[in-house]
Structure 1
Amino acid sequence: MAAAPVWSVDPRTGKQREQVGVETGPAGVDAAVRAAHAARDALTDRAARIDLLRAAADELEAARAEIVRTADAESALGETRLGGELSRTTAQLRAFADEVTDGGYLGVVIDHPDPSATPPCPDLRRYKIPLGVVAVYGASNFPLAFSVPGGDTASALAAGCPVVVKAHPDHPATSELCAAALRRAAARAGLPEGTVAVVHGFEAGVELVRHPLVAAAGFTGSVRGGRALFDAAAARPVPIPFHGELGSLNPVVVTADAAAERAEEIGGGLAGSMTLGSGQFCTKPGLVLVPVGDAGDRLVDALAGQVAAVPPAPMLDAGMLVAFLEGVAARAELDGVGTPVAVRPDEDGGNAIGAGFLTVPAAKLVADGPHRLLLEECFGPVTVVVRHQDDDEAAAVLGALGGNLTATVHLGTAEAAGTDPGARGAALLRRLTGLAGRVLVNGWPTGVAVAPAQQHGGPYPATTTPTTSVGATAIERWLRPVTYQDTPEPLLPPELREANPLGLPRRVDRLRTG
C-alpha cells in the first residue's frame, strides 16, 4: 500500500497548500532512530554540542523570513506573533548552549574517602550522563517553540541526546524547514546528520515511542493523545520516561477586595489573556472564580465588553474548531450556565470563531454531576466564570480541581501586603501552590518567560512528571546520575578527575566550588 501523503493546509480556508511528503512507515522510523542512536558518541563532545546549539539558532535566524511566512500560512497565528516565537526559540537554543558551557547541569559531586565515617565512606564521584535517543512530539499551537526546534529538542541536544521529532500534522512544511536548518547546524558542528530527524504520521508517532532504541520522550498536546503515548511508553518491555504536557485549566481566583479595587482592570486583563492566540495557549485562564456582588458584576460586565470586541480568528485546524464548538455547546446546555457572550462564527464565513465565556454558580460545581464537565479544559477562546458566595465556596471549587500548569490569584492591596485580617492572601497562595507549578499574583498566565527559574509543568494531568519543559532545568529530563566508586584516576571521565581539567562547578567534600 502506498504511503499516505502529508499535506500542508491553510487553516484560514481549509484548503491544501502543498504536499510536503508522505507519512513515515515503520522502516523509516527504524532508520531514523538507528541513525540517531549512531550519533550518540559524537554528541558526548560538549564543545560540539555548544557549536550545534548556537549554529542552530543562527541557521533558524538566517531562514527567518521563509520560516515565519510558512508557519503563518499553516497556523494563521500571524507573522508578528510567529516572529516573536522564532526569537524565543533561538534565544532558548543559545541559553542551552550557555548552560552546557557552564557545566553545572552535570551535578558533579565528589566525596573523598573517609574511613572514620559511619559507615566508612569510599571514594565516590557522581555526575549525570545522557539517556540516549529522545522522541519529541511537536505541539499544534507553537509551531516553533514547542515543535521541531523547540524546548524539548534544544534541552535534549544540550544533554547530549540525539532527537527524532514526530512533526505535528498542522505544520509539516514548517517542521521540514526547521529540520533542514538543524541539519545544517549539525553539519557545521561536525556532527552526524542523524543527530536530528523528523518523521510524519500518526502511526509513526506510535512506532517511535515503542522503538527499543528510544530512551525517553517529550510530548505537548491533549490529555487523550498524551495519555495513550504515556501508557505505551510504560507498557514497553523496558519502560521509558515520558515527559508529557497534557492539559491545564489554569484557575484564577479574584478576591472580593481585588474586585472592589479594580474590577474593570481585572476584567479587561482576563479578556486579553483568554483570547490571546484565539484561546489556544496551554496557559489560557480557563476557570475564573469571581465573587458574587456589585464588584464582581462590574468585573463580568467589563469582561463581556472586551470579549465581544475581539474579532473572530481562525483556530489551528478544522478538527479543533469542531471539537471546540461541540465542547462549548455541551457546557452551555448545563443547568444554571449562562452565556453573557456566546462564541460566534465569522460572519464572512471561513474557519474563524469569535470568543465567548460562560458563567455558573459555584454551588453547581461542588456537587458531583454533569457540571464537572466545566472543570475540564476546553481548548479555544472561552473561559468559565464561577461566581462564589464566600471563601468556603471558592475553596470547595479549588478542591475539585486536578493539577495545572499555572494558578493565579488577584489580591487587594492589604491582602498583597500581608496586612489583611486572617492573612487570606497567604492562605490562598498556599492552596494554589498545591494545584500548579507556577503561581501568579496580580498577573495573567499567558506568556512563559524562558529563564533559569521558570517552571512549566505541574501535577497530573498538567504534566506526567514533576519537571519543566521551559527553562534551564528542562535539561534534567534527559539525564541520569552515575556514581563511580574507588575508580582509578586514569579511568575516570574527565568531568570527575581530581584536577578538574574541564573547569566544572562541583561540590567536593560537601563544599561547593566553581
Structure 2
Amino acid sequence: MKVTGEMSIGRVSRFGTAGNIKAFDPRLGTEIEPSFGIATLNDVDEACTLALQAFESYRHTSPETRGAFLIRAADNLLALGDRLYERAVSETGLTVERIKGETARTAAQMKMFADVVRHGRWRHATIDSSDPARRPVPKADLRMQKIPLGPVAVFGASNFPILYSVAGGDTASALAAGCPVVVKAHGSHLGTSELVGKAIQAAVEECNLHEGVFSLLIGHGNAVGEALVDHPAIRAVGFTGSESGGMALVRRGAARPVPIPVFAEMTSVNPNFVLPGALRTRAPDIAAHFVERMTAGVGQMCLKPGMIVAIDGVGFEQLRGALAGTLSAVRAETMLSRGIYDNFNREAKRSREGKTSVSIAKGTAPKGRLEGQSEIFEVDAAEVLAAPELAGEMFGPAAVLIRCESEDQLIELTASLRGQLTMALHMESTDLDLARRLIPVLESKTNRILANKFSNTVEIGYATVHGGPYPATSDSRFTSVGATAIERFLRPICYENLPPELLPPALQDNNPLSLWRVRDGELERR
C-alpha cells in the first residue's frame, strides 16, 4: 500500500482541493513526500452525510457481523507491517520498537472490542416485568437497552500516531457501539493516518458494510475540525490533545443548535507521592524509576509522571540527589514536532522562573534539531499553593519535585491540584495512616490511583479507566481507554408496554441474542 496524499470518503480515495500540506520529519527537519490534499467543506459534508446514511444499517448489524468487522480492521492494520512502521518513524522520530508496540496494542484493542460487542453487556438489557394485578396502580412492562448515538467525529492525537489516532480507542469504541466514524487526521503524521485509514476502509468493503461507516479527512488549521463539530449529522466527538484545543471543541459542541457531547482528554501531571516510610527506605530506587518513566518517549505521553512530592525529612536529600544523578545521564532526544518542542520550552521556562524554583539537574545538552533536554525543578509546596501554575503540565522530558513541610501541607497541596488522569502513592506499611488520609483527596482529583508503581502505561482491559476530573478530561464520568469507553457513544432507551412483535431482539423474552440481562432486579443468565 502506497502513501498517495489522499483522504478516504466512504469507498472513494480522493485528493483534497482546498490546498496542499506535507508531513514533516522532526529528526531531519525536512518535509516528506508526497503532498496531501486538504479537504474542502463539501468533502466534510459528504463524509458526514455518508456516515448518517450508514447509521441505520450499521447500528442494526448483528454482534457477529460487527465483531468480524473489527477483527478484519485489526488484521488489516497488522498486515501493513514495515510500510506503516517506516512511515510512522519518519513522521514522528519515535523508534520502530515503539511504533510496533503501538500497532500491536491498537490491534489488540480492536479485537477486545469485538469481544465486547459479542458479549453484549454494553446494551445493559434490563426488564421490569408487568404486574396488572398490582394495586392501587397496575405495574407497566418496562424494558431498557442502550443504543448508539449516531455518527462520531474523531480527532487524531499527535503523541500516539497509532494507538490514539485513526484506529485508536475513540474510533474502536465508537465503531463497537454501532456509530459510523469520521476521523480528522493529525497533521503530524499524515502518511501514517492515510495507511491506517485505508486499512479500515478496506475492512468496511470486505465486510460488505455501508461505505459511510468510515471516512478519513485531511485538514490544516481549524476549518475542517470546526466544520466536523458543526455538522448536524455528527452526534458526538472524541478528542485527545491540549486543554485549549479540547475546550474550544467542547464550547463549539455545546453552542450548536442541537448540542452534542465532546469527550476530550487533555492535560495531566500524574503526581507521585513518596510517603515517609518509602522515602526513608527506597528513595534511590524510586528516583531512578521516576526518571526512567518521566523521560520515556521524550516525556510526550499523557501518563508521563511529571510531579514527585515528598515531605522534608529523612531521605529527602537522598531522593533529590538520586533524581539529579540519574537525570544527568539522560540523552536529549528528538521531540514530535516544532510546535510541541516550542511549547515544552515555554513550559519549562515558566517552572524555571518560580521564586523558589531551583533546577536541580539537566540531561545532556541537545546536539540535533528539536531535541528536548531533560530537566527537574524543585519548588516549595508553599509557593505552589500561592502560584498553582507551577504545578502545570510540561509536555516533554521535565518534571517538578515539591518539598512539603508536613503531612498537613501535603494534604493541602494535594487538595489544591487540578484533575489528573492518575495519582500514585509510594508507600510502606508504616505509611498506611497517611495513605488513608490521602486517598479520599486523591479520589476527588483522579479516576485512577496506583500504589508503588508508575503510570506512564495503561492496560487495555475491562476494568481500565483512563480519564479524570477537569482538566484531565471534559467529562470525568467516562474513560477513553478500555471496554467501558463504549459507554460514551451510547444512550438509554426505554420501551413501555410494547407488544412482543415490536421489541428489539435484546429485550425479547426468548433472548435471541443470548445476553446476560437484568430481569426484575436479578441477573438473568443467558
Task: Confirm or deny that 1:321 pairs with 2:341.
Answer: yes
Match of 2:47 among 3, 9, 32: 32
Partner Cα separation in structure 2 for residue 117 and residue 137 of structure 1:
54
Residue 96 of structure 1 is matched in structure 2 by 113
Match of 1:251 among 249, 271, 274: 271
Match of 1:461 among 451, 454, 471: 471
Deviation for aligned residue 1:344: 6.1
Match of 2:435 among 425, 431, 436: 425
Deviation for aligned residue 1:292: 1.5
Match of 2:187 among 157, 164, 169: 169
Partner Cα separation in structure 1 for residue 342 and residue 38 of structure 2:
24
Deviation for aligned residue 1:20: 4.2
Partner Cα separation in structure 1 for residue 18 and residue 487 of structure 2:
37
- Please, which moves more after superposition, 235-244 or 199-208? 199-208
Alignment of 1:33-432 (within 5 A): 33-43=48-58, 44-46=60-62, 47-115=64-132, 116=134, 120-201=138-219, 202-342=222-362, 345-347=365-367, 349-367=368-386, 371-415=387-431, 418=432, 423-432=433-442
Partner Cα separation in structure 2 for residue 86 and residue 451 of structure 1:
16
Q: Kindly indicate whether the alpha-carbon contact (under 8 Å) linking 2:113 and 2:176 is maintained by their aligned counterparts in 1.
A: yes
Uncovered stretches (5+) of structure 2, i.e. residues with no partner: 1-15
Task: Extract structure 1 runs of 4+ deviating beyond 3 A.
Answer: 117-120, 342-345
- Please, which moves more after superposition, 373-382 or 216-225? 373-382
Deviation for aligned residue 1:146: 0.5
Deviation for aligned residue 1:297: 1.1
Partner Cα separation in structure 2 for residue 118 and residue 461 of structure 1:
50
Task: Confirm or deny that 1:440 pairs with 2:455.
Answer: no
Partner Cα separation in structure 2 for residue 509 and residue 294 of structure 1:
58
Once the two structures are superposed, residues 233-265 of structure 1 have per-residue CA deviations (whole angstroms, 9 ceiling, x without a partner) of 000000001111011121111111111010101
Q: Kindly indicate whether the alpha-carbon contact (under 8 Å) linking 1:344 and 1:353 is maintained by their aligned counterparts in 2.
A: no
Deviation for aligned residue 1:88: 0.5
Q: Kindly indicate whether the alpha-carbon contact (under 8 Å) linking 1:258 and 1:413 is maintained by their aligned counterparts in 2.
A: no
Residue 5 of structure 1 is matched in structure 2 by 20
Q: Kindly indicate whether the alpha-carbon contact (under 8 Å) linking 1:105 and 1:476 is maintained by their aligned counterparts in 2.
A: yes
Deviation for aligned residue 1:294: 4.2
Deviation for aligned residue 1:117: 6.3
Residue 524 of structure 2 is matched in structure 1 by 513
Q: Kindly indicate whether the alpha-carbon contact (under 8 Å) linking 1:13 and 1:351 is maintained by their aligned counterparts in 2.
A: no
What code does the residue aligned with 1:378 have? M
Partner Cα separation in structure 2 for residue 363 and residue 504 of structure 1:
55
Q: Kindly indicate whether the alpha-carbon contact (under 8 Å) linking 1:48 and 1:190 is maintained by their aligned counterparts in 2.
A: no
Secondary structure of 1:218's counterpart equals strand
Secondary structure of 2:447's counterpart equals strand
Uncovered stretches (5+) of structure 1, i.e. residues with no partner: none
Once the two structures are superposed, residues 341-360 of structure 1 have per-residue CA deviations (whole angstroms, 9 ceiling, x without a partner) of 1366512x222122111000
Partner Cα separation in structure 1 for residue 209 and residue 35 of structure 2:
26
Secondary structure of 2:183's counterpart equals strand
Q: Kindly indicate whether the alpha-carbon contact (under 8 Å) linking 2:327 and 2:362 is maintained by their aligned counterparts in 1.
A: no
Secondary structure of 2:422's counterpart equals strand
What code does the residue aligned with 1:389 have? E
Residue 480 of structure 1 is matched in structure 2 by 491
TM-score in terms of structure 1 length: 0.96
What code does the residue aligned with 1:486 have? N
Once the two structures are superposed, residues 42-92 of structure 1 have per-residue CA deviations (whole angstroms, 9 ceiling, x without a partner) of 312122211110001110111122112111111111110111111100000
Secondary structure of 1:380's counterpart equals coil
Match of 1:498 among 497, 509, 513: 509
Deviation for aligned residue 1:11: 1.1
Partner Cα separation in structure 1 for residue 207 and residue 57 of structure 2:
10
Q: Percent identity?
A: 40
Q: Kindly indicate whether the alpha-carbon contact (under 8 Å) linking 2:385 and 2:416 is maintained by their aligned counterparts in 1.
A: yes
Q: Kindly indicate whether the alpha-carbon contact (under 8 Å) linking 1:29 and 1:208 is maintained by their aligned counterparts in 2.
A: yes
Deviation for aligned residue 1:118: 6.8
Once the two structures are superposed, residues 154-212 of structure 1 have per-residue CA deviations (whole angstroms, 9 ceiling, x without a partner) of 00000000000111111011000000000111111111232111112231011101101
Partner Cα separation in structure 1 for residue 278 and residue 445 of structure 2:
21
What code does the residue aligned with 2:483 have? A
Compute the RMSD of aligned alpha carbons: 1.4
Once the two structures are superposed, residues 270-312 of structure 1 have per-residue CA deviations (whole angstroms, 9 ceiling, x without a partner) of 1011111111111111221122234011111111122121111
Deviation for aligned residue 1:41: 2.4
What code does the residue aligned with 2:214 have? V
- Please, which moves more after superposition, 95-104 or 427-436? 427-436
Secondary structure of 1:440's counterpart equals strand
Partner Cα separation in structure 2 for residue 164 and residue 119 of structure 1:
48
What code does the residue aligned with 1:209 have? V
What code does the residue aligned with 1:405 have? L
Secondary structure of 1:498's counterpart equals coil
Partner Cα separation in structure 2 for residue 118 and residue 243 of structure 1:
45
Secondary structure of 1:470's counterpart equals coil
Q: For residues 344 and 374 of structure 1, do their structure 2 counterparts lie closer, same or farther at Cα, with a shift above 3 Å needed? A: farther
Aligned residue pairs: how many?
A: 504
Q: Kindly indicate whether the alpha-carbon contact (under 8 Å) linking 2:327 and 2:363 is maintained by their aligned counterparts in 1.
A: no
Partner Cα separation in structure 2 for residue 343 and residue 327 of structure 1:
17
Deviation for aligned residue 1:373: 1.8
Q: Kindly indicate whether the alpha-carbon contact (under 8 Å) linking 1:332 and 1:358 is maintained by their aligned counterparts in 2.
A: yes
Partner Cα separation in structure 2 for residue 126 and residue 493 of structure 1:
10
TM-score in terms of structure 2 length: 0.93
